[in-house]
């Protein structure tokens, strides 16, 4: 097989090269990275590749239609937002992913953001560095054991976030319309509606996929139902939140603070007001990262292709292909 790499964020592909060479495959790397459908098509057509490893390049109906010899797309991620899943199925292409990638890292990162916010750590840090020494300056500080930690999405990562945060909070609740009641741990209370989640939780941590239904699902109406001074954490997908509504909720004090590891556009515009707001703590889409997790995710994306070549099916997939 020949594997085409459309885009990647790591400094090199030495790990991938070693695995592919050992398997007896070939590889081709886009220079510069593919950011459009046409670039993906040109890369695969010109190289004769029959497999793609991709991060964020658009893999759409147009791409699948133009590449009849494409057999599998593998992503070193849990989410497959950039891929048209329906089109993949229509064209018989396997879509492989890593369902349990970076569970520990993202869950811990989200919980760390939540705890730093409820204890006002980023606000204190800013204040002290600006030569102010006042523990009351960031506003009212409440006891965390009297607070409720809420999850929007209660899958592997959401549950890890809850396990990390739960010892500090009085209650954990979750809204996940796709999770059967008997699949939720006993110590997490499932709520029936997203409105109830936002009404009851003092902190809401987002752990949902990005779909047409969930884009900007956290909007002005939903934020307006939170208790005044509550907190929001997003280490999932930036477009889950309406940024204008978020900024308005911060400016009005409806939200006491926000933790953002992800933005709708990445990297965000340097002038994005959310970057500079005094009640935000941000990180550069880093929740997934540790040295160990990075190596595991990258190697398993390649192993999905190798397993497919050897057995006819990858280790983990979201679309079952026919090729």
Residues annotated catalytic, as ranges = 237, 266, 285
The two three-digit tokens of residue 16, written as one number: 């991938």
Tell the residue number behind the tokens 């989640």, with chain if given: 197
Cα gap 16→59, rounded to integer Å: 21
Ordered DSSP codes for 228-258: TTEEEEE-S-GGGB-HHHHHHHHHHTSEEEE
Cα gap 281→264, rounded to integer Å: 16
The two three-digit tokens of residue 88, written as one number: 């993949």
Task: Provide the 8-state DSSP code for 211.
Answer: -
Cα gap 26→225, rounded to integer Å: 54
Q: How far is CA 106 from CA 38, 161, 233, 267, in A?
A: 33, 7, 12, 19
State how beta strands 189-190 and 94-96 pair.
unpaired
Q: How far is CA 297 from CA 130, 283, 300, 301, 303, in A?
A: 40, 20, 5, 6, 10
Indicate the angle between helix axes 103-118 and 156-165, nearest 10 degrees: 40
Residue 227 sits at φ, ψ, to 5 deg, of -65, 140
Tell the residue number behind the tokens 């889409």, with chain if given: 285
Cα gap 13→10, rounded to integer Å: 7
- CB of 52 within 8 A of CB of 304? no
């Amino acid at each position: 097989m020949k594997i085409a790499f459309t885009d990647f964020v790591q400094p090199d592909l030495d790990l991938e090269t070693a695995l592919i060479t050992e398997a007896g495959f070939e590889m081709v790397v886009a220079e510069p990275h593919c950011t459009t459908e046409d670039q993906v098509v040109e890369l695969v057509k010109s190289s004769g590749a029959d497999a793609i490893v991709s991060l964020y390049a658009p893999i759409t109906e147009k791409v699948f239609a133009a590449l009849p010899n494409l057999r599998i797309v593998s992503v070193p991620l849990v989410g497959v937002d950039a891929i048209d899943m329906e089109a993949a199925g229509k064209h018989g292409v396997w879509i492989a992913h890593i369902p349990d990638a970076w569970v520990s890292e993202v869950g811990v990162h989200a919980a760390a953001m939540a705890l730093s916010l409820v204890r006002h750590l980023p606000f204190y840090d800013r204040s002290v560095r600006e030569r102010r020494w006042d523990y009351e300056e960031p506003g009212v500080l409440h006891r965390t054991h009297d607070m409720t930690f809420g999850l929007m999405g209660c899958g592997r990562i959401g549950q890890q976030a809850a396990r990390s945060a739960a010892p500090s909070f009085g209650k954990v609740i979750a809204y996940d319309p796709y999770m059967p009641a008997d699949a939720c741990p006993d110590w997490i209370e499932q709520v029936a509606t997203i409105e109830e989640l936002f009404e009851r939780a003092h902190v809401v941590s987002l752990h949902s996929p990005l779909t047409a239904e969930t884009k900007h699902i956290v909007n002005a109406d939903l934020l307006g139902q939170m208790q005044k001074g509550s907190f929001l954490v997003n280490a999932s997908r930036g477009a889950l939140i309406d940024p204008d509504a978020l900024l308005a909720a911060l400016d009005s004090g409806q939200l006491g603070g926000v933790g953002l590891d992800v933005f709708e556009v990445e990297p965000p515009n340097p002038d994005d007001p959310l970057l500079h707001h005094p009640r935000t703590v941000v990180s550069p889409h880093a929740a997934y990262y540790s040295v160990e997790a990075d190596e595991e995710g990258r190697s398993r994306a390649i192993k999905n292709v190798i397993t497919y070549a050897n057995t006819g099916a990858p280790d983990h997939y979201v679309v079952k292909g026919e090729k």
